[in-house]
Each structure stands twice: as C-alpha cells, then as structure tokens.
Structure 1
Amino acid sequence: MGYTLMHEHIYLDLSAVKQDDDCLLNAFDLMVAEFKQLKTLGVERIVDVTNIGMGRNLAYVEQIQQHSGVEIVSATGCYKEPFLPDWFYQKTIDDIAHHFIEEIEIGIEASARKAGIIGEVGSGFDGISEAESKLLQAAALASLATGKMITTHTSLGRFGHEQLDLFTNMGLSAEQVIIGHTDLAGDRDYLQQLLDRGAIVEFDTIGKLSYLSDELRADLFSEAVAKGYQQQLLLSVDITRKSHLKANGGIGYAYLFTHFLPMLFERGVTEQDIEVILQHNPNRILARQTAL
C-alpha cells in the first residue's frame, strides 16, 4: 500500500445549511483526473470522512474508485451541529452507537461497503454542545465495540483537549483518537500537549491560506517531527468545495505533494519521515479492529 490521505471528501453536500452551491462537491470528471494524478505521486488510498448528514453518496464513491483506481475508505458517524440529521435528536446514545456499529460490521445504507473509520465527528466554535457530546459518546461506544479509530473535526483547531477528555472518560485511550484540523490552531504549545497525551494529531487543512500560512504549518509540523512524534502525525488537505479543485482555480488534492512536502523537506523532514506519516501510520490506523 502506498500513501494514504486520511481526511478528505469525495461527494459532499453542505450547501443547504451554508446556502452556497460551492459547498456541493460533485465534480466527477475533475475529481477522477485529480485522483489519477495522485496515483502518479504514490497515493493509493483516500479516507472519505463524509458521513451521515453530509450528503454521503456511496454510488458516486464507488464510481470514483472504479474510474480512478484509488481505493476509498468510507466512514460512519455524524458531523456536528447544525448538520446532524433530524432523527439524531430522537435517539439515545446507545441507539446512535448501534447505528454506527452496523455501518462498520454489516454495511452502510444496506450496501456491501463497510465503514473503516468513525468520523469526522466534531464540535463547534464555542465548545462541545449537548448534542455534540451525545455524538462523541456514541462514537466512543462504537469505537470500543469495533476497535475502529475515531477521527474528529475541531472548529479552527480548538477544543481538542475537551474532545480527548470525553473520549478517555468513556474508556478509550488517546491513541485511538485522531484530533483533526489541529494545524488551524497555529499553537505550538497546544500541539505539544496533544502529542504528549498520546493522541494522533492531523494537519489536514494544508493550503487553506485564509486561515493560516503554510509556512507556520510547516514550522509546527517539522518541529513535531524533529521531536520524534512521527508515529502520531497525519497529513491531508480536506477538499470540501468545487472551488478547491485545481481545474476550478483551487489548490487541488495534489497540493500536499507539489507544494507542502517540499517546504517540510527544507525544514529537515526526511523522505523516511514522510513514509511513516503517509504510509505506515494510515496502515496501522486502518488495520485496527476489536480484539474481542
């Protein structure tokens, strides 16, 4: 298995809530072309963290996989408020966890495709709401039952510790949790603390310069590598809009390889480090399953 991008979207529809058609990611031909380019750069697998309530489209995903030759791993879970499905609020934590477990063990939406990860499950800009706490607890129960890893959304990188506290209080180890979007915090101490707790830290908004410069991202990431945290680090770009695609004037999925990795190499990160981060870590994470 070659490289894996651990936090991406294949078909995504947040357009109704955001009132923006750009948030409907559905450019089939452009995506196939980009994925074929990714294959030439060593990418063999992409984790699609589009889950319940985010416009998940399994038929589209299967066609993208077939036409591009890139393996796609699907996810279970729900996103965060205000994107939670209506039924979520009527269900208990156990009910929701059972739904996630079924998508892992039986299949998603009565299909043969099984979820390989739980996520992206998240929290908002002001912390973890009551409904989001319910979501994260259900995700924890599903993880405990199946051994599948949890990958999270943090709004602007914040409240990763609070997410981790909830998960560890539910009985998970920090090593079973990927804290997403941590690069957006731009905070060296915060990053260090999450790594010291044992969590997997994901820099997955590479190239989104309106939030943070890639120079700062590269500085923080390379410093973490220099301190020996390679086995707790992941990279991705989190394409979420049609305008993010290369042909539409965006950075495209390959930006990580064409622009960001050279910045890391300039800062002392080695090809061996990148192999650990983009190959060995994803292989280990996606191979996890329950010991029961």
Structure 2
Amino acid sequence: MSQVQTVRGPVDSDQLGPTLMHEHIFVLTADVQANFPSEWGDEDERVADAVTKLKALYDTGIRTIVDPTVVGLGRCLPRIRRVAKQVPLNIVAATGIYTYHELPTYFWYRDPDPMADMFIDDVRAGNAGMLKCAIDEPGPTPGVERVMRAIAKAHRETGVPITVHTHPGTKTGWHVKRIMCDEEGVDPARIVLGHSGDTTDADHLSQLADAGFVLGMDRFGLNLGTTFEARAQTLVEMVRRGYAERMVLSHDACCYIDWIQPAARAAALPQWHYTHLHDEVIPWVLAHGITQRQIDTMLVDVPRRFFET
C-alpha cells in the first residue's frame, strides 16, 4: 500500500477504488480566458456544472479520477480544489507540460533548464500525484524531448508515476521507450501510454504491453476518425489476448473545453462524457466476452498497482 496525493490530500492506494485514469475537468486556453473572460462566463456556474457532472460519475461507482491537465491545457489548481471540496471523488492532479512542438516561450532561453525542478517542487508541495507530457504525430521535436527528459528526472526524484499523451497511429510509444526508459531509466511499468485505444492495431498494442507499459484505453466517446465499435472491439481483442492486467480505462472527457463550441461538441460527440463507459461501453463489452472480473481488473487493480509500484 502507498500514499497517493489527491487535491484534498493523500489517500491510501487501496482506497482509490474504481479509477478513471484520464479525465479532465476544465481544458482551457489560459491567455484567452484571462483576457476575454466573457467566453468563460460565470465562474460559479461553471464550477456548479462540474460538481453536478462529477457527482453523476460518482453515482456510477467510480471513486477516483486522474486529471492530467497541465501547463498548456489551462491548469488552475485553486479552481479544481474548489470543485473537489464539493464532490466525494478523489481527484489526482498532474504536473508537467503539454506540447506537440515547441516549449512555452518562458523556457526558451533559461539556463539551466528549470522544468524538472518545477515539477519536483510541485509534487513535493502536494500539488500533484502524477507527471504528464505529450508526444504526438510530430514526434520527438527538441521541445517535446526536453519535456520528456524533465518529466523522467522528476519521476526519478519523486517516484510519482507518469502519463504520456501518445499518437499510436505513428507509434510514438516507441519514442517514449527510447527516451524515457532506455536513456532516462524509467521503468515502463510506471508509464501509462495515453490514447492507446486510438488504434485498432492490436499487434502494436501487444508489443507495447509486452515491453512493460500500461496502455491507456482512455478515449471512449471521443469518436473522431474512429467508432464506438472499433474502440470497444479493440478492448475486447486485447483482453482476449490476455492484457487486462496491462490496461486502464477512461474517456479523456471534461466538463468544459474551450477548444470547441459547446453546441458543436454536443452534436459531433454525443457519447463523449463521464458516464459513457458505464452507460454503453461496459454493457457492450460484457456482451462480447469480457467478464466483470476483467472490468474490475482494469478499473481497480491496475490503477492501484500503478500507484504502488
């Protein structure tokens, strides 16, 4: 048993319960929001809406979410703490930087590079129980690689696990292995390869799982360029191959995202919400060969062990 830092304080890992390993609360463009607050609207209303949606998630039986909202995604811990005070869920926040290309300008000319120390200080201050970076289709650009190595250093110093936004279509998980594991010494068992379920290439996913990674089947409902059935069937196939012990589940959903107008989001992505797994995905996969014990493994056992390793 280990202690896991949540936004309300540490909890024992065996108290996490059913856990969604990749859910945002708010995804925002910070400079836009700071300078054009009318887009955001009423703060109290936004917080109340988040509380309502997260309570509905709690009612499905989920007891913990990991919120990997970091710099580049509008991270605002005081706002998240305000939400957390009103919901019974454990919320594990992350620290790190989200970029596919260049670093934020703040980091361009600073020497020595302050990133790793910032992440370490954030963890030690009790602000984060997860580290987060990203590598998408552009691959390991100089900025992306600097963040990945800083995250690896922060992991070595703190022991806090890592989630990496990946692009399985271009197999960026192998860059994670080279940079963070082979060169920086991170155990792949301490890394969730986020968005692994964006591909139906079960052979590729099996190879990553065999390399020791945890696979994030974590975009259920975000069916752009794919379908509900493709995501669900890939999960069934991976469980059939024996990888329930190497996967975690989630939606990558949020209460509010300013990247897309709310009405357009609702029309284009009607299943992209916090209860889609319990409302539709789990019943479908149970009807197609997955057992409840295997669901519990992915929702409870794997997240607990991930934080305990």
- Give the TM bin, normalised by the shorter chain: 0.7 to 0.9
**Aligned counterpart in structure 2 of residue 187 of structure 1, from 201, 222, 225:** 201
The residue identity in structure 2 corresponding to 1:207 is: G
Residue 16 of structure 1 deviates from its aligned partner by 6.1
- Where do residues 208-287 of structure 1 align in structure 2 (5 Å cutoff)? 208-240=222-254, 241-242=256-257, 243=262, 251-287=272-308
Highest RCO, 1 vs 2 (Cα 8 Å, sep ≥ 6): 2
TM-aligned CA distance change 1:186 to 1:227, over 3 Å = closer
Instruction: Give the Cα–Cα distance (whole angstroms) in 1 for the partners of residues 284 and 110 of structure 2.
Output: 47
SS across alignment from 1:7: coil
Q: Within 2, Cα distance between the matches of 1:249 and 1:223?
A: 25
Q: Choose from 91, 95, 113 the match for 2:114.
A: 95
Does the Cα contact within 8 Å between 1:118 and 1:143 map onto a contact in 2? yes
AA in 2 matched with 1:76: T
The 3-state SS of whatever aligns with 1:46 is strand
Residues 2-22 of structure 1: CA distance to partner in whole angstroms, max 9, x if unpaired? 2111111112213768xxx9x
Find the partner of 2:72 among 40, 53, 56: 53
Pairwise CA RMSD: 2.7
Q: Could you say which residue in structure 1 is the equivalent of 2:147? A: 135
- The 8 Å contact of residues 93 and 135 in structure 1, kept in 2 or not, is answered as no
In structure 1, the gaps of 5 or more residues are 108-112
Give the stretch that moved more between structures: 198-207 or 88-97.
88-97
- 1:115 equivalenced with 2:128 (yes/no): yes
Cα 1:49–1:24 shift into 2, 3 Å:
farther
1:164 corresponds to: 177
CA gap of 1:132–1:60, structure 2 versus 1, over 3 A, is same
- The alpha-carbon deviation at position 156 of structure 1 amounts to 5.8
Structure 1 pair 129/82, CA: closer, same or farther in 2 (3 Å)?
closer
- Residue 4 of structure 1 aligns with which residue? 19
- Partner of 2:290: helix, strand, or coil? coil
Residue 44 (structure 1) shift: 1.0
Q: Report how far residue 281 of structure 1 moved.
A: 1.4
- Offset, 1:73: 0.7
CA shift for structure 1 position 209? 1.7
Return closer, same or farther for 1:157/1:287 CA change in 2, 3 Å cut-off. farther
Q: List per-residue Cα deviations over 1:223-265 (Å, max 9, x = no partner).
A: 211222222101110115543579x956321111111111211
State the SS of the aligned residue for 1:8.
coil
Alpha-carbon contact 2:163-2:194 (below 8 Å) kept: yes
SS of 2:63's equivalent?
Answer: strand
Structure 1 outlier segments of 4+, above 4 Å: 23-26
Instruction: Provide the C-alpha distance between the structure 2 equivalents of 1:31 and 1:187, rounded to a whole number of angstroms.
Output: 35
The amino acid of 2:212's aligned partner reads G
* Cα separation, 2, equivalents of 1:134 and 1:226: 37
- C-alpha distance in structure 1 between counterparts of 2:101 and 2:184, whole Å: 24
Using the TM superposition, name which of 194-203 and 168-177 deviates more: 168-177
Go from structure 1 to structure 2 and tell me whether the alpha carbon gap of 1:78 and 1:200 turns closer, same or farther (over 3 Å shift).
same
Provide, for residues 118-159 of structure 1, a one-character-per-residue CA deviation record: whole Å limited to 9, x for no partner.
01x112322111110011011111111111111011146531
TM normalised by structure 1 equals: 0.86
Letter of the structure 1 residue corresponding to residue 136 of structure 2: G
2:167 touches 2:173 (CA, 8 Å); kept in 1? no
Matched residue type, 2:193: I
Flag structure 2 segments of 5+ consecutive residues without an equivalent. Answer: 1-14
The amino acid that maps onto 1:265 is L
Aligned-residue sequence identity (percent) comes to: 29
Q: Any residues of structure 2 matched to 1:23-42 within 5 Å, and which? A: 27-42=46-61
Cα distance, 1:24 vs structure 2: 6.8
Give the direction of change, closer, same or farther, for the CA distance of 1:31–1:245 in structure 2 (3 Å limit): farther
Q: Name the residue aligned to 1:110.
A: none
Q: Secondary structure at the match of 1:234?
A: strand
Name which of 66, 79, 82 aligns with 1:63.
82
